[in-house]
Chain A
Amino acid sequence: MGETDVLGSHTVSEAEIVAFARKYDPQPFHTDPEAARATIFGGLIASGWHTCAIMMRLSVEAMQREQAVGTGSPGVDSCRWLKPVRPGDTLTLRREILETWPSRFKPHGFVRSRAEMLNQHGEIVLSLVGVGMFRRRAEETA
Protein backbone atom coordinates (compact mmCIF):
# COMPACT_ATOMS: atom_id res chain seq x y z
CA MET A 1 0.00 0.00 0.00
CA GLY A 2 1.21 3.48 -0.75
CA GLU A 3 3.89 2.06 -3.00
CA THR A 4 4.56 3.99 -6.19
CA ASP A 5 5.94 2.20 -9.23
CA VAL A 6 7.02 3.29 -12.68
CA LEU A 7 5.50 0.68 -14.97
CA GLY A 8 6.66 1.52 -18.48
CA SER A 9 6.63 4.10 -21.20
CA HIS A 10 5.52 4.62 -24.78
CA THR A 11 6.34 7.23 -27.42
CA VAL A 12 3.26 8.39 -29.30
CA SER A 13 3.53 8.88 -33.06
CA GLU A 14 1.45 11.17 -35.26
CA ALA A 15 0.30 8.14 -37.28
CA GLU A 16 -0.97 6.43 -34.12
CA ILE A 17 -2.84 9.55 -32.98
CA VAL A 18 -4.53 9.95 -36.35
CA ALA A 19 -5.37 6.25 -36.74
CA PHE A 20 -7.01 6.03 -33.31
CA ALA A 21 -8.92 9.26 -33.79
CA ARG A 22 -10.22 8.39 -37.27
CA LYS A 23 -11.77 5.30 -35.77
CA TYR A 24 -12.99 6.53 -32.38
CA ASP A 25 -12.71 10.31 -31.99
CA PRO A 26 -12.81 12.02 -35.41
CA GLN A 27 -12.47 15.66 -34.36
CA PRO A 28 -10.17 17.88 -36.47
CA PHE A 29 -7.67 18.50 -33.65
CA HIS A 30 -7.16 14.71 -33.40
CA THR A 31 -7.21 13.74 -37.09
CA ASP A 32 -5.86 16.62 -39.19
CA PRO A 33 -2.48 18.25 -38.39
CA GLU A 34 -3.30 21.25 -40.62
CA ALA A 35 -6.74 21.93 -39.19
CA ALA A 36 -5.41 21.32 -35.66
CA ARG A 37 -3.06 24.30 -35.98
CA ALA A 38 -6.02 26.68 -36.16
CA THR A 39 -7.64 25.28 -32.98
CA ILE A 40 -7.02 26.33 -29.36
CA PHE A 41 -4.60 23.39 -29.10
CA GLY A 42 -2.31 24.85 -31.78
CA GLY A 43 -1.53 21.46 -33.27
CA LEU A 44 -2.44 17.81 -33.37
CA ILE A 45 -3.24 16.22 -30.00
CA ALA A 46 -4.19 12.69 -29.02
CA SER A 47 -7.75 11.77 -28.07
CA GLY A 48 -8.09 11.46 -24.30
CA TRP A 49 -9.49 7.98 -24.87
CA HIS A 50 -6.30 7.15 -26.75
CA THR A 51 -4.18 8.24 -23.77
CA CYS A 52 -6.34 6.01 -21.56
CA ALA A 53 -5.85 3.12 -24.00
CA ILE A 54 -2.05 3.56 -23.90
CA MET A 55 -2.25 3.63 -20.10
CA MET A 56 -4.16 0.33 -20.20
CA ARG A 57 -1.60 -1.22 -22.54
CA LEU A 58 1.24 -0.28 -20.19
CA SER A 59 -0.76 -1.59 -17.20
CA VAL A 60 -1.44 -4.95 -18.86
CA GLU A 61 2.22 -5.34 -19.82
CA ALA A 62 3.18 -4.65 -16.20
CA MET A 63 0.61 -7.18 -14.95
CA GLN A 64 2.09 -9.78 -17.27
CA ARG A 65 5.59 -9.06 -15.95
CA GLU A 66 4.35 -9.24 -12.37
CA GLN A 67 2.34 -12.40 -13.19
CA ALA A 68 -0.77 -10.75 -11.81
CA VAL A 69 -4.02 -12.12 -13.20
CA GLY A 70 -6.53 -9.36 -13.85
CA THR A 71 -10.19 -10.39 -13.83
CA GLY A 72 -11.82 -7.18 -14.95
CA SER A 73 -12.73 -3.85 -13.42
CA PRO A 74 -15.93 -2.38 -11.95
CA GLY A 75 -14.95 1.12 -13.04
CA VAL A 76 -13.02 4.36 -12.68
CA ASP A 77 -13.63 6.90 -9.90
CA SER A 78 -12.17 9.84 -11.80
CA CYS A 79 -10.10 10.59 -14.88
CA ARG A 80 -8.61 13.95 -15.85
CA TRP A 81 -6.91 14.86 -19.10
CA LEU A 82 -4.65 17.57 -17.70
CA LYS A 83 -2.36 18.44 -20.62
CA PRO A 84 -2.46 17.79 -24.36
CA VAL A 85 -0.53 14.76 -25.66
CA ARG A 86 1.31 15.57 -28.89
CA PRO A 87 3.16 13.54 -31.55
CA GLY A 88 6.60 12.52 -30.30
CA ASP A 89 5.65 12.73 -26.61
CA THR A 90 7.02 9.92 -24.47
CA LEU A 91 4.48 8.94 -21.82
CA THR A 92 5.49 7.11 -18.67
CA LEU A 93 2.99 5.33 -16.42
CA ARG A 94 3.31 5.79 -12.68
CA ARG A 95 1.04 3.83 -10.36
CA GLU A 96 0.28 4.19 -6.68
CA ILE A 97 -1.71 1.53 -4.81
CA LEU A 98 -4.31 3.29 -2.64
CA GLU A 99 -6.35 0.46 -1.17
CA THR A 100 -6.88 -3.31 -1.43
CA TRP A 101 -9.75 -5.48 -0.20
CA PRO A 102 -10.90 -9.05 -0.75
CA SER A 103 -14.04 -10.01 -2.61
CA ARG A 104 -16.40 -11.92 -0.30
CA PHE A 105 -17.76 -14.43 -2.73
CA LYS A 106 -15.03 -15.20 -5.22
CA PRO A 107 -11.31 -15.91 -5.23
CA HIS A 108 -10.73 -12.32 -6.27
CA GLY A 109 -9.55 -9.14 -4.65
CA PHE A 110 -9.96 -5.46 -5.47
CA VAL A 111 -7.17 -2.92 -5.85
CA ARG A 112 -7.82 0.81 -6.01
CA SER A 113 -4.91 2.66 -7.57
CA ARG A 114 -3.96 6.04 -8.95
CA ALA A 115 -2.44 5.95 -12.42
CA GLU A 116 -0.60 8.97 -13.76
CA MET A 117 0.84 9.40 -17.23
CA LEU A 118 3.78 11.81 -17.35
CA ASN A 119 5.30 13.30 -20.47
CA GLN A 120 9.03 13.75 -21.14
CA HIS A 121 8.94 17.12 -19.34
CA GLY A 122 7.64 15.49 -16.16
CA GLU A 123 4.18 17.01 -16.59
CA ILE A 124 1.19 14.88 -15.61
CA VAL A 125 -0.99 14.59 -18.73
CA LEU A 126 -3.47 12.01 -17.36
CA SER A 127 -4.50 11.29 -13.79
CA LEU A 128 -6.89 8.49 -13.04
CA VAL A 129 -8.16 6.65 -9.95
CA GLY A 130 -9.69 3.28 -10.73
CA VAL A 131 -10.42 -0.15 -9.32
CA GLY A 132 -9.09 -3.41 -10.72
CA MET A 133 -10.00 -6.98 -9.82
CA PHE A 134 -7.30 -9.60 -9.50
CA ARG A 135 -7.16 -13.32 -8.79
CA ARG A 136 -5.86 -14.11 -5.32
CA ARG A 137 -3.19 -16.65 -4.51
CA ALA A 138 -4.66 -20.10 -3.78
CA GLU A 139 -3.38 -20.15 -0.18
CA GLU A 140 -5.09 -16.81 0.56
CA THR A 141 -8.51 -18.13 -0.36
CA ALA A 142 -8.16 -21.62 1.16
Chain B
Amino acid sequence: MSDLVYFEDIEIGEVHRFGRYEVTREEIVEYAGQFDPQPFHLDEDAAKQSMFGGLVASGWHTGAMLMRMICDHAIPGAATTGALGFDDLKWLKPVRPGDVLSVETRITEKIESRSRRDVGVVKIESRVLGQHGHAVMTLTSLVLYRRRPPA
Protein backbone atom coordinates (compact mmCIF):
# COMPACT_ATOMS: atom_id res chain seq x y z
CA MET B 1 0.00 0.00 0.00
CA SER B 2 2.87 2.37 0.78
CA ASP B 3 3.76 2.92 -2.88
CA LEU B 4 0.27 4.20 -3.74
CA VAL B 5 0.15 7.77 -5.01
CA TYR B 6 -1.96 9.84 -2.59
CA PHE B 7 -3.31 13.40 -2.79
CA GLU B 8 -0.20 14.71 -1.06
CA ASP B 9 2.11 13.09 -3.62
CA ILE B 10 0.66 14.85 -6.65
CA GLU B 11 2.34 17.96 -8.02
CA ILE B 12 0.64 20.67 -10.03
CA GLY B 13 2.04 20.71 -13.56
CA GLU B 14 2.79 16.97 -13.70
CA VAL B 15 2.32 15.60 -17.21
CA HIS B 16 1.71 11.95 -18.13
CA ARG B 17 1.32 10.35 -21.54
CA PHE B 18 -0.17 6.89 -21.92
CA GLY B 19 -2.54 4.58 -23.73
CA ARG B 20 -3.11 3.21 -27.19
CA TYR B 21 -6.68 2.62 -28.36
CA GLU B 22 -7.39 1.40 -31.87
CA VAL B 23 -10.82 2.57 -32.97
CA THR B 24 -12.71 0.08 -35.13
CA ARG B 25 -15.77 0.51 -37.30
CA GLU B 26 -17.45 -2.39 -35.48
CA GLU B 27 -17.00 -0.77 -32.09
CA ILE B 28 -18.19 2.65 -33.30
CA VAL B 29 -21.38 1.09 -34.66
CA GLU B 30 -21.89 -1.13 -31.61
CA TYR B 31 -21.58 1.75 -29.14
CA ALA B 32 -23.80 3.99 -31.27
CA GLY B 33 -26.43 1.30 -31.69
CA GLN B 34 -26.67 1.02 -27.94
CA PHE B 35 -26.30 4.64 -26.81
CA ASP B 36 -26.16 7.20 -29.64
CA PRO B 37 -28.13 5.96 -32.67
CA GLN B 38 -27.64 8.96 -34.96
CA PRO B 39 -27.03 8.19 -38.66
CA PHE B 40 -23.46 9.56 -38.79
CA HIS B 41 -22.43 7.11 -36.02
CA LEU B 42 -24.26 4.10 -37.45
CA ASP B 43 -24.37 4.08 -41.22
CA GLU B 44 -21.50 4.78 -43.65
CA ASP B 45 -23.76 5.95 -46.49
CA ALA B 46 -25.78 8.29 -44.30
CA ALA B 47 -22.54 9.52 -42.71
CA LYS B 48 -21.14 10.42 -46.16
CA GLN B 49 -24.11 12.75 -46.67
CA SER B 50 -23.55 14.41 -43.29
CA MET B 51 -21.19 17.28 -42.50
CA PHE B 52 -18.69 14.69 -41.21
CA GLY B 53 -18.28 13.13 -44.67
CA GLY B 54 -18.00 9.63 -43.21
CA LEU B 55 -18.62 7.49 -40.16
CA VAL B 56 -17.54 9.10 -36.85
CA ALA B 57 -17.55 7.82 -33.27
CA SER B 58 -20.05 9.19 -30.77
CA GLY B 59 -18.35 11.81 -28.63
CA TRP B 60 -19.54 9.91 -25.57
CA HIS B 61 -17.83 6.84 -27.00
CA THR B 62 -14.57 8.81 -27.17
CA GLY B 63 -15.10 9.72 -23.51
CA ALA B 64 -15.60 6.04 -22.69
CA MET B 65 -12.42 5.12 -24.59
CA LEU B 66 -10.55 7.79 -22.59
CA MET B 67 -11.87 6.23 -19.38
CA ARG B 68 -10.63 2.81 -20.49
CA MET B 69 -7.13 4.15 -21.11
CA ILE B 70 -7.20 5.87 -17.70
CA CYS B 71 -8.25 2.59 -16.04
CA ASP B 72 -5.50 0.63 -17.77
CA HIS B 73 -2.64 3.08 -17.26
CA ALA B 74 -3.37 5.85 -14.75
CA ILE B 75 -5.51 4.36 -11.98
CA PRO B 76 -3.28 1.39 -11.06
CA GLY B 77 -1.06 2.64 -8.25
CA ALA B 78 -3.16 5.77 -7.67
CA ALA B 79 -5.24 6.19 -4.51
CA THR B 80 -8.24 7.43 -6.48
CA THR B 81 -11.80 6.85 -5.34
CA GLY B 82 -13.95 7.97 -8.23
CA ALA B 83 -14.61 11.38 -9.74
CA LEU B 84 -17.08 14.20 -9.17
CA GLY B 85 -17.43 14.87 -12.89
CA PHE B 86 -15.74 17.09 -15.47
CA ASP B 87 -15.75 20.59 -16.96
CA ASP B 88 -14.99 22.11 -20.37
CA LEU B 89 -15.32 19.00 -22.48
CA LYS B 90 -14.64 19.86 -26.13
CA TRP B 91 -15.09 17.52 -29.06
CA LEU B 92 -12.51 19.10 -31.36
CA LYS B 93 -12.10 16.65 -34.24
CA PRO B 94 -14.06 13.66 -35.51
CA VAL B 95 -12.82 10.21 -34.43
CA ARG B 96 -12.97 7.76 -37.33
CA PRO B 97 -12.45 4.02 -37.89
CA GLY B 98 -8.73 3.24 -37.93
CA ASP B 99 -7.76 6.14 -35.67
CA VAL B 100 -5.35 5.27 -32.85
CA LEU B 101 -5.95 7.30 -29.70
CA SER B 102 -3.69 8.08 -26.75
CA VAL B 103 -3.89 10.40 -23.75
CA GLU B 104 -1.90 13.29 -22.28
CA THR B 105 -2.85 14.45 -18.78
CA ARG B 106 -1.73 17.50 -16.82
CA ILE B 107 -2.45 18.27 -13.16
CA THR B 108 -3.84 21.80 -13.00
CA GLU B 109 -5.16 22.21 -9.44
CA LYS B 110 -5.45 20.51 -6.04
CA ILE B 111 -8.38 21.33 -3.76
CA GLU B 112 -8.59 20.19 -0.14
CA SER B 113 -12.08 19.06 0.76
CA ARG B 114 -13.75 21.05 3.52
CA SER B 115 -16.32 18.39 4.25
CA ARG B 116 -14.10 15.31 4.05
CA ARG B 117 -10.65 15.08 5.59
CA ASP B 118 -9.91 11.70 3.98
CA VAL B 119 -10.01 12.88 0.33
CA GLY B 120 -8.96 15.77 -1.85
CA VAL B 121 -10.00 16.84 -5.34
CA VAL B 122 -7.41 16.90 -8.13
CA LYS B 123 -8.19 18.73 -11.37
CA ILE B 124 -6.72 16.83 -14.28
CA GLU B 125 -6.78 18.18 -17.82
CA SER B 126 -6.92 15.30 -20.29
CA ARG B 127 -6.20 15.57 -23.99
CA VAL B 128 -7.22 12.64 -26.17
CA LEU B 129 -4.81 12.61 -29.11
CA GLY B 130 -5.14 11.05 -32.55
CA GLN B 131 -2.30 9.22 -34.28
CA HIS B 132 -0.97 12.49 -35.75
CA GLY B 133 -0.74 14.09 -32.32
CA HIS B 134 -3.76 16.36 -32.78
CA ALA B 135 -6.25 16.66 -29.91
CA VAL B 136 -9.64 15.13 -30.74
CA MET B 137 -11.17 15.77 -27.32
CA THR B 138 -10.17 17.67 -24.18
CA LEU B 139 -11.72 17.91 -20.74
CA THR B 140 -10.88 18.73 -17.14
CA SER B 141 -11.79 15.96 -14.67
CA LEU B 142 -12.41 16.41 -10.95
CA VAL B 143 -10.84 13.29 -9.48
CA LEU B 144 -11.07 12.23 -5.83
CA TYR B 145 -7.75 11.15 -4.31
CA ARG B 146 -7.41 9.70 -0.83
CA ARG B 147 -5.23 11.60 1.65
CA ARG B 148 -2.09 9.83 2.82
CA PRO B 149 -2.92 8.00 6.06
CA PRO B 150 -0.93 9.22 9.09
CA ALA B 151 2.24 7.15 9.61
Chain A residues near B (Cβ < 8 Å) = 20, 23-27, 29, 39-41, 47-49, 52-54, 56-57, 60, 70-81, 106, 130
The residues in B between 52 and 111 inclusive whose CB is less than 8 angstroms from any CB of A are 52, 58-60, 63-65, 67-68, 71, 75, 81-91
Chain B residues near A (Cβ < 8 Å) = 31, 34-38, 40, 50-52, 58-60, 63-65, 67-68, 71, 75, 81-91, 139
Alpha-carbon distance between A20 and B60 when the two chains are bound, in angstroms: 13
Name the one of A47, A57, A78, A79 contacting B34, with C-beta atoms under 8 angstroms. A57
Residue of A nearest to B87 (CB): A78
Residue of B nearest to A80 (CB): B85
Please tell me if the beta carbons of B85 and A60 are within 8 angstroms of each other in the complex.
no
Alpha-carbon distance between A17 and B50 when the two chains are bound, in angstroms: 32
Please tell me if the beta carbons of B64 and A24 are within 8 angstroms of each other in the complex.
yes
Name the one of B36, B50, B75 contacting A71, with C-beta atoms under 8 angstroms. B50
Please tell me if the beta carbons of B51 and A49 are within 8 angstroms of each other in the complex.
no
Please tell me if the beta carbons of A79 and B86 are within 8 angstroms of each other in the complex.
yes
Residue of A nearest to B71 (CB): A26
Name the one of A20, A39, A56, A130 contacting B36, with C-beta atoms under 8 angstroms. A56
Please tell me if the beta carbons of A25 and B85 are within 8 angstroms of each other in the complex.
no
User: Do A24 and B60 contact each other (CB < 8 Å), given the known contacts A48-B83, A57-B36, A60-B37?
Assistant: no
Residues from chain B with a CB closer than 8 A to the CB of A53 are 31, 34-36, 60, 64
Residues from chain B with a CB closer than 8 A to the CB of A48 are 82-83, 85
